[in-house]
């Protein structure tokens, strides 16, 4: 009986060991995480950014010149008007001051009025190309701020201008 008991105990131990061996399974290591998705390249949606004011050749042109005793924007400056109007459309927070100037010929009052008319015509051209009136301010300096002080046509033509000044980018 002792032998049977030992035999039974040995068999039970073997069964238990076998059962434990089956239950303890080594878990496989977790799979490596998937590689990160590639970061998409910035999409150039064609909209102007503030940095373009210094790098874009069209936006860097910020002076519109006028003929003697005229206040209409010359056709050669239409492309500049289109570039700045597009910038205003792309950047609703941008603000521009249009500074109208005249040469020294004519009275002070006449030149102040001429500078204002020139600034208003540039403003109208920008608005016609899509700029917003709320983004544009006109100031006339008349003959008070010349870029050239020689009394000659070559100098006067430089003073008949509207300067486009960005006050907010």
Task: Give 140-154 pLDDT, tens digit per residue.
Answer: 999 999 999 999 999
* Domains of the chain with bracketed CATH: 52-168 (3.30.1330.60)
- pLDDT at 44 (0 to 100): 63
- pLDDT at 121 (0 to 100): 97
Element (H, E) at 95: strand 95-101
| Sign of the alpha-carbon dihedral angle for 11, 16, 17, 19 | positive
Residue with tokens 């999409």: 43
Residue 76 DSSP label: G
Q: How many CB atoms sit inside 10 A of residue 56's CB?
A: 14
DSSP 99-138: EEE--SSS-HHHHHHHHHHHHHHHHHHHHHTT--GGGEEE
- pLDDT at 34 (0 to 100): 74
Half-sphere exposure of residue 129, counting CA atoms within 13 Å on the CB side?
19
Q: pLDDT by residue for the chain (169 residues), tens digit each? A: 566 666 667 666 666 566 555 555 566 777 777 777 666 555 567 899 999 999 999 999 999 999 998 989 999 999 999 999 999 999 999 999 999 999 999 999 999 999 999 999 999 999 999 999 999 999 999 999 999 999 999 999 999 999 999 999 9
- pLDDT at 150 (0 to 100): 94
- pLDDT at 21 (0 to 100): 53
CB 160 within 8 A of CB 67: yes
Classified as helix, coil or strand, 165 is strand
- pLDDT at 43 (0 to 100): 53
- pLDDT at 32 (0 to 100): 78
CB 148 within 8 A of CB 160: no
């Amino acid at each position: 009986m002792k032998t049977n008991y030992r035999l039974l105990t040995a068999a039970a131990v073997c069964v238990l060991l076998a059962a434990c061996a089956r239950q303890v399974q080594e878990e496989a290591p977790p799979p490596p995480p998937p590689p990160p998705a590639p970061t998409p390249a910035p999409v150039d949606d064609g909209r102007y950014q503030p940095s373009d004011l210094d790098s874009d050749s069209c936006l860097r042109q910020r002076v519109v010149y006028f003929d003697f005793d005229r206040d209409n924007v010359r056709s050669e400056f239409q492309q500049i008007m289109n570039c700045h109007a597009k910038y205003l459309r792309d950047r609703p927070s941008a603000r521009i001051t249009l500074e109208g100037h005249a040469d020294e010929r004519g009275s002070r009052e006449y030149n102040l009025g001429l500078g204002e008319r020139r600034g208003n015509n540039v403003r109208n051209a920008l608005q016609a190309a899509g700029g917003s009136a709320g983004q544009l301010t006109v100031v006339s300096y008349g003959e008070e701020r010349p870029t050239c002080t020689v009394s000659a046509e070559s100098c006067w033509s430089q003073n008949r201008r509207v300067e486009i000044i960005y006050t907010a980018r």
